[in-house]
Amino acid sequence: MTAGSRKKGAVAVIGAGSWGTTLARVLAGNGFPVQLWCLEAETAEQIRVERENRNFLPGVLLPATIEPVTALKEALQDKELLLLAVPSHVFRDIIQQMLPHLSLVKKGCLWISATKGIENDSLITMTGILRETLGEAYYPHVGALSGPSFAKEVARELPAAVALGAGTREAAQRVQKMFANSYFRVYTNPDLTGIELGGALKNVIALAAGISDGLGLGHNSRAALITRGLAEISRLGVKLGAKPATFFGLAGIGDLVLTCTGDLSRNRSVGLRLGKGEKLTDILSNVITVAEGVKTTRAAYQLALRERLEMPIITQVYGILYEKQNPRRAVRDLMTRDLKSEQEVA
């Protein structure tokens, strides 16, 4: 058997939401046998019988090489890649459930997070959770995937480009080759901290952009929010050890612009409804997908306090979500702060 014809190793995607299902489809299309772990048995059965995930990715045919499973133990068995695509607030719990079965994991298996969030209690990213729960020995094989990539468009095989960071250059290049194809381009970036923080914090700014649009404040306001939001993301990211250049790349400005302007953005959609006067509890009660920015806002606000950074947009979004701040009052507070030079920290 030649190197070119060698059978590709099996992979597992943990989480059958829209993004997890889409990435499973990318990997299956690239020739990998994929097990897709589903929390709900009915989702697994639907995919098995109908080859469609109607709840999270309706209208997209899933190839037979994607096998839905409901047992984490089965998903861990002898995999080359474990791609984690569960919501951030259950990420640690899912990893904890995996720990008794680590002996089943193939040596050198890659643990890649596709989750964009910050854990509220610990204020650490998803790879931080992996490093903490799995141990330092796993860190060279840990990484994160982020960038401007709506699941529905990637599932339609429309061109997209993302950034990938990992504990080592070799691990990043392995994952890059596994994902890359004619419509899904992957760039490596050694700044794992910046990739994850950019992917998480942009959701908070997208909430702000949605609120602005919901209030009918126009394109000028949205552009200002994106620009000053990037300044806040960069400020916090650099304080936490990220590289400034990362925030001017795919996982930074690229993902930020997409999430703040695209109609498929869940976080912008929540912001729109808040700006139009709906209550957060009512909005969240009738959606099945997760708007990560709602929980990330709390973590971002706490990080700003801990690091003693002035982050006015994030502070106002926190006030709207958790302190009953009136959105129009929040806009006025932002616009009437002390005047500054653009090069000042806030």
Give dist(CA 70, CA 174) in Å, integer. Answer: 27
Q: How far is CA 274 from the centre of its chain?
A: 22
Q: 202 catalytic, yes or no?
A: yes
Q: How many residues does this entry show for the chain?
A: 346
Task: With CA atoms as reference, report the closest residue to 198 among 132, 151, 245.
Answer: 245
- For the record, the structure tokens of 121 come out as 């209690």
Q: Residue 144: which of 98, 94, 91, 89 has the closest Cα?
A: 91
Neighbour count for residue 54 (Cβ, 10 Å): 12
Neighbours of 283 (CB within 10 A): 17
All residues at 6 or more sequence positions from 159 whose CB lies less than 8 Å from its CB, including other chains: 183, 184, 185
Contact 225, 154 (CB under 8 A): no
CA distances from 333 to 4, 74, 300, 312, 337 (A): 61, 53, 19, 9, 6
Look-up of token digits 């048995």: 41
- Catalytic choice (202, 276, 295, 340): 202
**Residue carrying the six token digits 């994991």:** 105
In the β-sheet with 142-146, what is the strand arrangement from edge to edge?
66-69, 34-37, 11-14, 81-84, 110-113, 142-146, 160-166, 184-188
- CB neighbourhood size of 73 (10 A): 12
Rounded Cα distance between 260 and 323, Å, is: 23
Catalytic residue positions, numbered: 202
